Amino acid sequence: MQQLIYFFQKYKYGLYLLFLLSISLGLTINNHSFHRSKFISSTNSFTGGIYEKMSDFDNYLNLKDQNKALIEENLLLRNKISAFRNLTDTIIENTKTDSLNYDQQYTYISGKIFKNEFHKPYNYLTINRGNKHAVTSEMAVVNHKGIIGITDNSSSKYARVQSILNRNSKINARFKNSFHFGTLTWNAIDYNTVQLIDIPRQASFSIGDTIITGGRSAIFPEGIPVGTVISKNNSNTIDIKLFNDMSNLGNIYIIKSFHKKEIQNLEKK
């Protein structure tokens, strides 16, 4: 027993060292194993708290740089947005081959109406397409419901459209179920009603008949819907209710080119 106490007396530092070293070695091995030590790591509340404070301080010192980075990021995002806007503003050209009904081909250019008017005797619309987008004067403007007008003036980015609600507007139109044609005009009274004049006396029609473009003009292709007959004024003038609500127009299509395949084939021969 005395020997044992003497032994402890002699090697107390060595034993204490061994004790401490085995603890730290245990911790090291534990740290290398899959189940990491949960007590001695920077995730406990004390060390984590100190790190949090330090990181707050660090963030405060870096505010200037971070502002710079944020501004750069904002700039980048703004550029992306404007690029995206440009992208959505690009022209969608859509070629439609109409071989079933009228055997003709034309190309649409999409566009949007910037300014619309319908309350004057001579109404003009402004659209966001111009020479840049291959839009020149005397091109047909329609939308999905029907006829809208004819371009009469174009700048590099914009074009002016002579609405069908214009006293100068004269468009060839015919009945859908017969080939009697007339001229589409407007008497400047009601923006929902246009007049078809100069129809042949022998033309037979009834109220509710559909009117479409005639295809005799160089501007409109054949078969664009216009409206329905609502009443007959005198022998050769009838009132037509438009399919389009002219006070409520948005997206439009400009018809770029159309030709009848038959005529082309004929000219080739």
Partner 1 sequence: MNRKPFYLSFIFFSLILLQVLILNNIRFLGYVNPYIYIAFIFLFPFKKNRFPILTLAFLLGLCIDSFSNSGGTHAFATTFIAFIRPYVFRIVFQKTEVDFEFFKLKQESFGKVFNFTVILTFIHHFILFSLVNFSFHNFFDVITRMFLSGIFTLILYFLGNFILSRKQES
Q: What residues make contact with partner 1 under the rule CB under 8 A?
A: 13, 16-17, 20-21, 23-32, 37, 39-42, 44, 47, 50-51, 54
| Cβ at position 22, least distance to partner 1 in Å | 9
Neighbour-count burial for 33-67, b at 16+ CB within 10 Å, e otherwise: eeeeeeeeeeeeeeeeeeeeeeeeeeeeeeeeeee
Closer to partner 1 by CB, 21 or 77: give it: 21
Closer to partner 1 by CB, 26 or 200: give it: 26
| Cβ at position 46, least distance to partner 1 in Å | 8
Q: How many whole angstroms from its chain centre is CA 36?
A: 54
The residue to which tokens 């700048």 are assigned? 155
The residue to which tokens 């009443």 are assigned? 231
| Cβ at position 23, least distance to partner 1 in Å | 7
**Residue at 168: amino acid letter:** N
The residue to which tokens 């995206």 are assigned? 84
C-beta atoms surrounding 111 within 10 Å: 24
Q: What angle do CA 196, 197, 200 make, to 5 degrees?
A: 110
| Cβ at position 64, least distance to partner 1 in Å | 19
β-bridge pairing 181-185 and 171-175: antiparallel
Closer to partner 1 by CB, 25 or 77: give it: 25
Closer to partner 1 by CB, 29 or 207: give it: 29
Closer to partner 1 by CB, 23 or 69: give it: 23
CB of 29 closer than 8 Å to CB of 40: no
| Cβ at position 2, least distance to partner 1 in Å | 23
C-alpha pair distances (Å), 174 with each of 44, 167, 183, 192, 210: 86, 19, 8, 18, 9
The token pair that represents 242 in the structure block? 């438009």
Closer to partner 1 by CB, 13 or 60: give it: 13
| Cβ at position 18, least distance to partner 1 in Å | 10
